[in-house]
């Protein structure tokens, strides 16, 4: 496994772990200042500060996220790393509604320093049952 692949998958895993642990401090260090998330459940565009506030307040909770790094497609283009992967997740929305989904996601990272990446964009698409 290439060093870039392993490093990007490690950063991906830290992102998922920070979400499930509701650790806004770790998320703060993982995300770029202009981070944007496109929500898997409704396609809403959420900025970094909104996500951090929702996580730190408990308004949005991720009780479980299962990832499948062995299936991930990982590419590096210059100072950009791209991970296309799959998750199974459960989360609770601000209105208390629970949501479970299998998803394909694209995470875009920018190199922060050698071996260090920051997530600048995340987009998920629900996998619908056949």
Q: What residue spans define the domains of the chain?
A: 3-126
Query: Which structure tokens are listed for 32?
Result: 């770029």
CATH architecture of 3-126: Roll (3.10)
Q: What is the pLDDT of residue 1?
A: 55
pLDDT tens digits, 52-93: 999 999 888 888 899 999 999 999 999 999 999 999 988 777
Measured CA to CA, the distance from residue 74 to residue 29 in angstroms comes to 21
Q: What is the pLDDT of residues 22-46, one digit of tens each?
A: 999 999 999 999 999 998 878 889 9
Q: Between these two residues, 72 and 126, which has the higher pLDDT value?
A: 72
Strands (E), the chain: 31-38, 45-47, 61-67, 73-77, 80-92, 98-113, 116-126
């Amino acid at each position: 496994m290439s060093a870039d692949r392993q490093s990007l998958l490690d950063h991906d895993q830290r992102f998922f772990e920070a979400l499930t642990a509701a650790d806004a401090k770790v998320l703060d260090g993982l995300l770029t200042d202009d981070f944007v998330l496109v929500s898997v459940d409704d396609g809403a565009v959420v900025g970094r500060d909104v996500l951090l506030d929702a996580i730190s307040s408990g308004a949005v909770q991720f009780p479980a996220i299962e990832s499948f790094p062995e299936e991930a497609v990982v590419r590096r283009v210059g100072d950009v790393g791209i991970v296309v992967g799959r998750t199974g997740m459960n989360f609770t929305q601000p209105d208390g509604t629970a949501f479970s989904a299998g998803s394909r996601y694209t995470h875009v990272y920018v190199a922060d320093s050698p071996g260090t990446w920051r997530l600048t964009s995340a987009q998920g698409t629900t996998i619908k049952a056949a």
